[in-house]
Chain A
Amino acid sequence: MSVATTPAGAPDRSTRSDLRTIGLLWAIFTILGVVFALVVPHHLMGRPASNTMTEVERTFTVFSVASAPVAAAVWALAVYSLLRWRRRGAWKEGDPDGPALRGHGLTTGAWMFVSSALCLFLLIWGLDALSKVDSAAAASGDPLEIDVTGQQWVWTFTYPSDGVESDQLVLPLDRPVVFKVTSDDVIHSFWVPEMGIKVDANPGMTTTTSTTPDRLGTYHVRCAELCGLLHADMETGAQVVSTNDFDSWVAGQGGHA
């Protein structure tokens, strides 16, 4: 399809003034969007409690900043068209039509180029982050291994190296942890929101996730897959404690450190 010539011809004065105002709107919306992206998600997701969550929040913020100009462009065009090109009163037979623009090759090309470039950026960023997540546990030495079992509607945690089993998750600070997750009945999903890790607990199979907790505190283990009657109550605590406290907890549970 060829670019149809308009009665008014190529970019005239009114088009330039349209573009100027739209550009201004775009800049304002972009700035608002970027400020929002930098402040709000981080505030809502809270201070990260693990290196994984730090990465999650960083990616969320970067993606938000990167999408701000895109959303701003769409909204700027939409808002401007609504305000500037709005018809007063209803359409009547014989009213003049808008310009017969059936396409604009340069605009289309630029739009496609920019959206492809953004997509490529997101993809590279994602693959890079993914490779970091997958290799983090493998690379670091001496990870603490914990077997996580979900069953309707309780979590239990076994520490094979310490000979301890518990209803609470207790983790030593700054030591990599590998969770081997399974289920005794239906599918559950092991989620520690403050640490940015989640993996489904499947019956008869073991799935793995890992992280390194890096902030002391008490967090949550939640079930993120509808698992029946008490799904909402399938929650327990996840404490991150110092290495000494961890050792004394293990001893208190009758384990061998």
Chain B
Amino acid sequence: MTTADVYKTDPLHGSPNGGVMRRLNMGTGVIAGVVLAVAANQLLKHLTKDHVHGPDARAMFTMVGWAVGFMLGIGAFTGPFRWLSGRDLTHADELFLAGKDQGVSRYFRFTTDHKVVGIQYLVLVMVMLGAGGSMAMLIRTDLISPNTGFLGPQTYNSLVGLHGLTMILATIIMVTGPFGNFVVPLMIGARDMAFPRLNALSLWLLVAMLPILYSAAFLGGIPMGWVGYTPIADQGPKGVDAYMMAILVFAVSTAVAGMNITTTIVTMRTRGMTWTRTPIFVYGVLASVVLALPAFPMFMAAELLLLVDRVMGGGFYVSNRGGQPWLYQNLFWLMGHPEVYVILIPAVTALMELTTVFARKPLYSFRVAVLSIVGIVGLSVTVWAHHMFASGWAPDLNGPFMLTTEMISIPTGGLFLVILGTMWRGRIWTTFPMMCTYAMLWNFIIGGITGIYLSDVPLDYQLHGSMFVTAHFHYTLMGAGLTGAMGALGYWFPKMTGRMLASTPAFVSFWLVQIGFNVTFLGMFMVGLEGQPRRVVHYDANLHTGNLISTIGAYCIGVGMLVLLYDVISSWRSGELAPMNPWGAKTLEWTVPNPIPLENFAVLPVVTEDAYGYGEEPVTAPEPEPVPASAGAAATGVDQGERTPGAPA
């Protein structure tokens, strides 16, 4: 097949300036979504009548109607429709879909350009973090004293679950979404993602998901926390249907995004970008989405079975109907533990990437970095049942799961080594992103060590289900993960927006957030050790001190995050214009001009060495023939050819 066959232009049918697809945007999506939702709701009202599962089925189909309608209305299926009707998209149509010459309006459309999708992801993540953060503030306000009565148990329980789910979903996409989409194609020298339409699809599915998720608050709430344990989920009100539906949509989005990013990285690296010359952040993103690919179907399956339980009267998780609550827990944590590394790995590798730039040093032991990532990915799918030590499920397996869990600390230590080794005798430029690396080192050590306590079975019997666990995973997901994402934001902000992120407010925010964070969660460790269970709306009077400390710290985080929000908005609107390569980095995304043209590179670059040659003589461009293997290896210390990182040198 030649390119001419693919882009068969047909001026008779695909009018260059008209057509329905050119009028579709977020507004038409919302209209179509609401129309289909109302239609489904009314239809089910007639179909289910007074059936015992009627209300759940009705709620469920209303949500499906919304999601399908929204995606139809925004034009997510334009391509397949046109193909089915025999009028495949013309080149002009494709350019329109990519957002060519459309200004701001392309951010509100089903636009396929990876840079638009990256910015859309960034805004979406910020909205979700804002929503989750607001809920955190309310939770901490309720816990400011032993019995405030501020929220009441029902609202509190729902809020805890929605905060958790919002934050988990937001942190899963917070690096691979904005930076994986915007930066990775640039970094590997590609013109776009492998499947640009799937890319837009994954983003807009998430937008369709948000109203579904938050409708839970108006449908009686969710009584079972973000983990959605059964059988309490079988008992809950219609809010649980919203929870399930939101996860189903999210899982589809993740699968689509994961396949797309994987294909892009594996097949679309530019000429000369062998695996040993591929930047470590690209590895991080790849590891994250590859890990998500098997993980999220588990979650999806768990929720589908729950759906059958709730909407059709199945009994997968109901013991007196032959079901098994432990089945849900196994399926859930088969997703739940890999997911932690889905969040962490890209964040940490983003920090590795920027540490080489701000320390002006090559990455310390690229091979250890890659092997550590591979080791974590491999081990992380074998540790899930450490979340179930205290559940009573399979006590004989506690020992093996303790073994795999503790082994994961070895490759995690490798990540620390790489970052510390890169800092060693560097010329460290303490920008806001670089300070995020330092904050991550501090926080992740605490999160990692407390994780070791929890991996020890007898200790876990005591600590499981207590505030100690809550503090532990906030140290890993927020202290390391979110801090890494904030560093990535500061680092790539000039490329993504064309402007510099103002430094002073960023540092004010940094110290407020990091100090507030440590105050909050050290207080939470304290009450956990003193015996406070998770997810309680009020607590024993002798736990007051630690909770008060936590609440004060949480307000401090809240203020700090708002300062960062201000910084992002004001810098984006009127910040200092960024030069093409403000940090003097060597990766490819800094070789394109601001603003970045539609297909990124006028001429695709050819890579002759890795991006970490700080303090080394640059390898000259290959001419007329490729550089002899020995010359490249001597100059860069990197193997030539398609040799895998694990192969002996």
Contact = CB atoms under 8 A, between A and B. Distances in A.
A–B contact with Cβ pairs below 8 Å: the answer is: yes
Given A44-B530, A115-B413, A203-B320, A231 B423 contact: no
Between A75, A186, A197, the greatest number of chain B beta carbons within 10 A of the residue's beta carbon is seen for A186
A7 interface: yes
Interface centre among B425, B438, B534, B613 (most CB of A within 10 A): B425
Interface string B523-566: 00010011101111111100000000000000000000000000
Contacts of A91: 358, 360, 427, 429, 583-584
B474 interface: no
Given A74-B420, A75-B441, A202 B539 contact: no
Contact of B530 (A45, A77, A125): A45
A160 interface: no
Interface stretch (A56-64, A143-151, A165-173, A243-251): A56-64
Nearest to A93: B584
A111 B413 contact: yes
B526 to A, nearest CB: 6
A204 interface: yes
B224 A226 contact: yes
A253 B38 CA distance: 60
Contacts of B360: 91, 95-98
A108 B614 contact: no
Interface in B343-369: 358-368
B410 A196 contact: no
A23 interface: no
Contacts of A229: 153-154, 157, 223
A111 B364 CA distance: 13
Given A59-B458, A98-B427, A193-B462, A226 B402 contact: no
Contacts of B529: 41, 44-45
Contact of A78 (B319, B410, B438, B539): B438
B195 interface: no
B65 to A, nearest CB: 30
A186 B235 contact: yes
B456 interface: yes
B229 A103 contact: no
Interface stretch (B22-30, B240-248, B253-261, B390-398): B390-398
Give the interface size bracket for B toward A: 35 or more
A108 B367 CA distance: 11
B368 A108 contact: yes
B425 A98 contact: yes
Contacts of A41: 529
B252 interface: no
Nearest to A63: B453
A231 B534 CA distance: 10
Given A87-B427, A133-B461, A202-B319, A228 B390 contact: no
Given A119-B410, A123-B406, A229-B157, A96 B458 contact: no
Nearest to B396: A134
A143 to B, nearest CB: 17
A191 B534 CA distance: 12
Contacts of B409: 115, 118-119
A224 B364 CA distance: 44
Contacts of B538: 232-233
A247 B537 CA distance: 37
B406 A119 contact: yes
B426 interface: yes
Given A97-B361, A130-B399, A226-B160, 19 more contacts: A1-B637, A1-B638, A41-B529, A55-B458, A81-B426, A81-B428, A91-B583, A103-B366, A103-B637, A118-B409, A119-B410, A123-B403, A132-B458, A189-B464, A198-B465, A205-B392, A226-B232, A231-B535, A232-B535
11 contacts: A1-B637, A91-B583, A98-B425, A103-B367, A132-B458, A187-B232, A224-B533, A225-B229, A226-B534, A228-B235, A229-B154
Interface of B: 153-154, 157, 160, 223-225, 229, 231-232, 235, 319-320, 325-326, 358-368, 390-392, 395, 398-399, 402-403, 406-407, 409-410, 413-414, 416-417, 420-421, 423-430, 438, 441-442, 445-446, 449, 452-453, 455-459, 461-462, 464-466, 526, 529-531, 533-540, 583-584, 612-616, 637-639, 649
